[in-house]
Structure 1
């Protein structure tokens, strides 16, 4: 029995060591980088994960599946925020469409289909007219959509997205910012693994500080 207990204990130690070793593979400067300055988070007391993306970006589309899988098990202490990048005039059109779809409460059902329409269907949905037509399939009224597209409220959200991208000195997407401190870039499951690691890192830091 003692020998069995010792074996089980050794296995447990090896498992824990293996987990620690795996975590150590995520290295600053290689798997993630520090933000130029710590950014503000939307919800105080929660760990923020903010994803910057553009619907026309193939890498963003590749990342979407692992991110969706991760979101299905989103921890209660994590606040996930999507930020459509508006870093040039074309991207801004899609960002405006995204925020209008939020305002019209159709973002959830239209999000993946828009990605699919562009990357699987080859549709060029990168301007106000094409986006207005696309979103009508998901319940948007064209007149309402167009009235909101360049509205003060939507422009305010666009300006915030631009300022955040500038603050984090982003040069491309996808980019995932964890708690305003760490920036992770890539288009695979590894991004989600690094984000999970950094979330836990922040969680442990918050526990020590409390």
Structure 2
């Protein structure tokens, strides 16, 4: 009986602690409030948009936490990945990302590319190296190259640039919640803050 009582108290204290942690998230410290909110892709859903670059070690560290969060993502949330194209090198990877998405291989290549660059020390940053990487996933080099500088891919890259500017991003990783809040960091706290903000937006509806 005593054992169950202690266990129950511990569980209650944990719940109170978790609630207190969520209540402690404050604007200007744990997240940034955007002066000019952006629009969301799917009206009626709470948007969570992750900006990243494959060569960013901080993005690589954050990725497992994002993957865990995605497995329990609420149904009223729309998650969008956006490859940051904030300089010429990053833009090369952004183009590769959108080509992989257009060809339907993005789900199979996203994590392997992260690992190849950050753990395998492979320099997969330009068009040629990316084309060779995607060959391993059934994408012919000619097909990759034909789409790399296409109008459709260029338009998506331009949109990614525009969003990064609109959200006043200075670096990555950055997670934008419902076009209103920016959360930055590389540990599990990021997803805790994101969940807090999602709930905040849900209550505001």
Per the alignment, residue 110 of structure 2 pairs with 111
Per the alignment, residue 6 of structure 1 pairs with none
Task: Return 13-22 or 154-163, whichever deviates more.
Answer: 13-22
1:199 aligns to 2:186 (yes or no): no
Per the alignment, residue 7 of structure 1 pairs with none
Q: Which secondary structure does the structure 2 equivalent of 1:157 belong to? A: helix
Larger-Rg structure: 1
Distance apart, 1:13 and its partner CA? 8.1
Per the alignment, residue 147 of structure 2 pairs with 148
Per the alignment, residue 76 of structure 1 pairs with 75
Distance apart, 1:195 and its partner CA? 0.3
Consecutive unaligned residues of structure 1, counting only runs of 5 or more, are 1-9
Per the alignment, residue 134 of structure 2 pairs with 135
Per the alignment, residue 36 of structure 1 pairs with 35
Tell me, in whole angstroms, the C-alpha distance in 2 between the residues paired with 1:11 and 1:112: 37
Q: What do residues 174-209 of structure 1 show as CA deviations (whole Å, max 9, x unaligned)? A: 000000000000000000100011001111111xxx
Given that 1:136 and 1:142 are in contact with CA atoms closer than 8 Å, whether structure 2 keeps it comes out as: yes
Tell me, in whole angstroms, the C-alpha distance in 2 between the residues paired with 1:117 and 1:131: 11
Per the alignment, residue 98 of structure 1 pairs with 97
Q: What do residues 91-121 of structure 1 show as CA deviations (whole Å, max 9, x unaligned)? A: 0000000000001100000000000000110
Tell me, in whole angstroms, the C-alpha distance in 2 between the residues paired with 1:197 and 1:97: 32
Distance apart, 1:18 and its partner CA? 3.8
Q: State the 4+ residue runs in structure 1 displaced beyond 6 angstroms.
A: 10-16
Tell me, in whole angstroms, the C-alpha distance in 1 between the residues paired with 2:191 and 2:184: 10
Distance apart, 1:134 and its partner CA? 0.1
Tell me, in whole angstroms, the C-alpha distance in 1 between the residues paired with 2:11 and 2:97: 47
1:26 aligns to 2:22 (yes or no): no
Question: TM-score scaled by structure 1?
Answer: 0.90
Distance apart, 1:19 and its partner CA? 4.2
Tell me, in whole angstroms, the C-alpha distance in 2 between the residues paired with 1:11 and 1:114: 42
Distance apart, 1:15 and its partner CA? 6.6
Cα separation, partners in 2 of 1:13 and 1:71, compared to 1, 3 Å: closer
Given that 2:22 and 2:192 are in contact with CA atoms closer than 8 Å, whether structure 1 keeps it comes out as: no
1:187 aligns to 2:175 (yes or no): no
Q: What do residues 9-32 of structure 1 show as CA deviations (whole Å, max 9, x unaligned)? A: x99986765444221221111100
Given that 1:177 and 1:184 are in contact with CA atoms closer than 8 Å, whether structure 2 keeps it comes out as: yes
Q: Which secondary structure does the structure 1 equivalent of 2:66 belong to? A: helix
Distance apart, 1:60 and its partner CA? 0.2
